[in-house]
Structure 1
Amino acid sequence: MYDPTRLAALVAVSEAGSITRAAERLGYTVPALSQQLAKLEREAGAALLVRHHRGTRLTGAGELLVARARRVLDEMDRARHELAQLSGLTGGRLRVGTFTMAGIHLLPPVLSAFRRAHPDVELAVSQYEPPEGVTAVAAGRADLALTHAYEPAEPVQLPATVAAEPVLVEELVLVTAPGHALAAGSGRLPLAELAGQPLISMAPTLPPRRGVEAALAQAGATPAVLVENPGYALVCALVSAGLGVAVVPEMVARTATTPVGMRLLEPGSLRRTISVVYRTGETAPAADTFRALLRGAFGRSVA
């Protein structure tokens, strides 16, 4: 049986004309989307896409499967709407918290799917930079929230009434100015190669990044500019201007608005986990349904 989320990915690629544009639309990283398409091709037992310098086009098998996939996805949308009516999701309000990057690149397709399935539920979205989303959920100001944690880091204790469910794990990667020597190789760059490099640092005093900053310092990277408040767009802009290199989540690197080079690091143990936090011990059909949509959209990327 075909995975519906992979069918949706194939439809998105057919509509966008390239894997890169489809990944941006769906809120995936390009490698994560490519991996899912490869799994779908193995399930189908045939090549579904042909990649060329202008983008991607469907093979004959791909065109056949996309036509069927659209019907399947339409039927699933209808089923979700009918089930929502049975479960009482015909009104009410869902309050969703998110941090900036997830709000731009991950949340929109899930909100769109929820709205299609449950048009009578009022949606409210608020911005909470981690760990503020956890506090908002615990205090009842949000029904659920997207937050993140880094590795390495000290474990964070959640309030007793709040649980966290990972939805996406991504590596931290090196970003450099375009043409920088460290971005030239194709393999992973040993962390020790950062010794002596001027680092755009996310301020070692920031609790979420403290363990990451310590690992970079141990590798010998030399802080050149400290960014005191979270702001990856600013970090990438400083890197692009040649003020230093930085280590950022892969999603940040691939969606940077300023030109940067990118390189995977060795070992790949520097990571960011994006999770959805929610209150336990209460009946919340809208929040439960939204979490299920998150699992369907991004759970396959969890390491």
Structure 2
Amino acid sequence: MQDFSRLLALMAVAETGSISAAASKLGYTPPALSQQMAKLEREARVQLLVRHRRGARLTAAGELLVRRAREIEAILRATETDLVQFLEVSEEQIRIGTFTTGGIHLLPPVLAELRRRHTRIALSLQEFDHPDGLGPLGDGDIDLLLTSSYIHGRHSPVPAGLSSEVLLEEELLLVAHEGHPLTADSVPLHWTALAGFPLIIGRRGLADRETLEALFASRAMAPPVVAFETANSAMACALASSGVGVACVPRTAVEASTALISTRPFAAQPLKRVVSLLWRSSDTTPLVRKARCVFRETFARSGGAPSARQAQEATAASAY
């Protein structure tokens, strides 16, 4: 009895009292429905119907099977209801992972637009330094990951099972206190000029630190002199303004900084920051697809670099 439609047909015969009436209700021809009942009796290995001049009645076995079929139908309907409710709840939640400066300078306009388009959406955020968010994303603890990487040349490969889209590529600027000798000239600076100057940079294992160390090593230079370690670009600007070191900071964070700093571009842009959105390749839920579209469109409109005032306004609009 693998075909539940035959059980539904038997229930129709029980309700109408005849093969012809049940066939009319279900859209069958009477001969076709008779064949279905014959197959069901062969599967059950017992007579289910007694045919008579006025129609058909159920045997005791038929009545038992109809009771069980109605129980199965009720379970299936309840399951459908539960699944619809589960889908509605699931589709109204987006868990986003972000790096700190992305959450400060880039994410607020996206959150505001998500809330505007989906008023009932529940948003949650978690902060990760790259590449710490890749594991939670792959494990399903978050739905989307806004992450940054610092590259020289080709992009890093995306881990298996994940997909990505580049939202922003931007140059890094040298940041120092006002009057620093490295920023006295506006001519683009070659990165080798950083040798010997104390740097404000991320801890070991983070992309900016590893990439800069790789650049130094490529010229057989001594490793960078580290003054302070921080992955927060806003903090790096603030520390640089105090004169304790210089930093290589993405243009977005520099333009949003209120610290008293001086800047200088690098020649040939040996380093750049790439901001990407990642998701599980297997995740095709409608809200995740829509959220990815909002990220793409918002970054495209703003150029990926909203002003400090825009970021503050969007933060207020997306409060929850």
Q: TM-score, normalised by structure 1?
A: 0.62
Distance 1:230 1:260 in 2: 18
CA 172–116 in structure 1, closer or farther in 2 if over 3 Å, else same: same
Which position in structure 2 is the counterpart of 1:99?
A: 99
Which position in structure 2 is the counterpart of 1:31?
A: none
User: Residues 90 and 118 of structure 1 are in contact (CA less than 8 Å); yes or no, is this contact kept in structure 2?
Assistant: no
Higher mean C-alpha displacement, 217-226 vs 272-281: 217-226
Q: Secondary structure, in 3 states, of the residue corresponding to 1:266? A: coil
CA 240–222 in structure 1, closer or farther in 2 if over 3 Å, else same: farther
Residue type of the alignment partner of 2:176: T
Q: TM-score, normalised by structure 2?
A: 0.59
Instruction: Please report how far the alpha carbon of residue 278 of structure 1 lies from its aligned counterpart in structure 2 after TM superposition.
Output: 0.4
CA 265–153 in structure 1, closer or farther in 2 if over 3 Å, else same: same
Residue type of the alignment partner of 2:268: P
Distance 1:224 1:159 in 2: 32
Which position in structure 1 is the counterpart of 2:46?
A: none
Distance 1:127 1:257 in 2: 23
Which position in structure 2 is the counterpart of 1:270?
A: 271
Q: Could you tell me which runs of 5 or more consecutive residues in structure 2 were left unpaired when the two chains were aligned.
A: 1-87, 305-320
User: Residues 164 and 275 of structure 1 are in contact (CA less than 8 Å); yes or no, is this contact kept in structure 2?
Assistant: yes
Instruction: Please report how far the alpha carbon of residue 247 of structure 1 lies from its aligned counterpart in structure 2 after TM superposition.
Output: 1.4
User: Residues 137 and 143 of structure 1 are in contact (CA less than 8 Å); yes or no, is this contact kept in structure 2?
Assistant: yes
CA 124–282 in structure 1, closer or farther in 2 if over 3 Å, else same: same
What is the alpha-carbon root mean square deviation over aligned residues? 3.0
User: Residues 177 and 242 of structure 1 are in contact (CA less than 8 Å); yes or no, is this contact kept in structure 2?
Assistant: yes
Q: Secondary structure, in 3 states, of the residue corresponding to 2:133? A: helix
Which position in structure 2 is the counterpart of 1:109?
A: 109
Distance 1:221 1:253 in 2: 27
Residue type of the alignment partner of 2:174: L
Which structure has the larger Rg over C-alpha atoms? 2
Distance 2:220 2:260 in 1: 26
Q: Could you tell me which runs of 5 or more consecutive residues in structure 1 were left unpaired when the two chains were aligned.
A: 1-87
Question: CA offsets per residue over residues 191-237 of structure 1, 9 Å max, x none?
Answer: 34334433334345545531223325649687443434523333323
Instruction: Please report how far the alpha carbon of residue 294 of structure 1 lies from its aligned counterpart in structure 2 after TM superposition.
Output: 1.5
Alignment of 1:24-103 (within 5 A): 92-103=92-103
User: Residues 151 and 211 of structure 1 are in contact (CA less than 8 Å); yes or no, is this contact kept in structure 2?
Assistant: yes
User: Residues 195 and 224 of structure 2 are in contact (CA less than 8 Å); yes or no, is this contact kept in structure 1?
Assistant: no
Which position in structure 1 is the counterpart of 2:184?
A: 184
Alignment of 1:203-242 (within 5 A): 203=203, 205-216=205-216, 218=219, 223-242=224-243
User: Residues 98 and 146 of structure 2 are in contact (CA less than 8 Å); yes or no, is this contact kept in structure 1?
Assistant: yes
User: Residues 237 and 257 of structure 2 are in contact (CA less than 8 Å); yes or no, is this contact kept in structure 1?
Assistant: yes
CA 115–206 in structure 1, closer or farther in 2 if over 3 Å, else same: closer
Distance 1:233 1:191 in 2: 21
Question: CA offsets per residue over residues 35-64 of structure 1, 9 Å max, x none?
Answer: xxxxxxxxxxxxxxxxxxxxxxxxxxxxxx
Higher mean C-alpha displacement, 119-128 vs 134-143: 119-128
